[in-house]
Amino acid sequence: MTKATLIGGVLVTVMALGGQWLLHRSYFRVQHVTFIGLKHESSAQVLAASGLALHPTMVGLGTASVAHNLERFAWIDGVTLIKRWPNSVEVRVHESAPVAVAFDPHHVLRYVDRRGRDLGRAPLNANLPTLEYVSPARATWPFEHAGRNAALVASELPRAFSAQVSVVSVNWHGIVSLKMTTPVSFILGLPTQLQAKFVAIASVIAHSTLGPGDVVDVTVPGELAVSGPSPR
């Protein structure tokens, strides 16, 4: 190794270490935070939970760590972090959207997102389908666990007939049924082949004459079965 090469290597190392030292000074730590799209959660609480109020270094800051810190907020579905050097951060919040409502154990109506999470209190006139968990022993809040299939189906309902769905019902086996406003019911089974099942439902609604209490089984989309109301 020549003397020039050695000196060059030392200079590069010194510059790199000096750069790292500089980037960890207070001037390059987070000083200003702006939240965009935050509507349902307290900005002060979100800031405190995010870790950004602790003035982390800009160079070491990543979206994943901030998103992880904010997972406990039901309305926050994800975030995008934009660094504005030398010390400002813009956090773009992607909020959850309610896809249904459900009653909690105290019979208070709550908004529910696609993952089955409780988003908070909803008005009784909320224009969304109601989730129903049918089980001998009702869980405290089943829609993130045994009843999560109901939230999934509610989030996928097509515009063609979503307004006609009154209740999305699920049992402890994960079998989903739709109770319509007519009132007619459709048994979907497990939430597989949903698009094919929705096409079958739309076709039945458009081309069949159904009576109150009729039940249409679309578990196998190409083999529909229609039964009348159960005898009383």
- Indicate if 217 and 122 belong to the same structural domain: yes
Interatomic CA distance for residues 53 and 46, integer angstroms: 10
Distance between terminal CA atoms of the chain?
96
Domain boundary among 67, 95, 123: 95
* Per-residue pLDDT tens over the stretch 162-203: 999 999 999 999 999 999 998 899 999 999 999 999 999 999
* Range with lowest mean pLDDT among 14-18, 59-63, 108-112: 14-18
- Indicate if 106 and 34 belong to the same structural domain: no
- Indicate if 91 and 111 belong to the same structural domain: no
Q: Is residue 15 part of a domain?
A: no
Question: What tokens appear for 62 in the block?
Answer: 């990543």
pTM: 0.78
The boundaries of the domain holding residue 139 are 100-227
Domain boundary among 62, 95, 128: 95
- Indicate if 176 and 111 belong to the same structural domain: yes
Give the number of residues written for the chain. Answer: 232
Cα 69 to the center of its chain, rounded Å: 16
Work out the pLDDT band at 224, boundaries 50, 70, 90. confident
Nearest in space to 151 (alpha carbons), one of 110, 123, 181, 122 = 110
Q: What SS3 state is found at 111?
A: strand
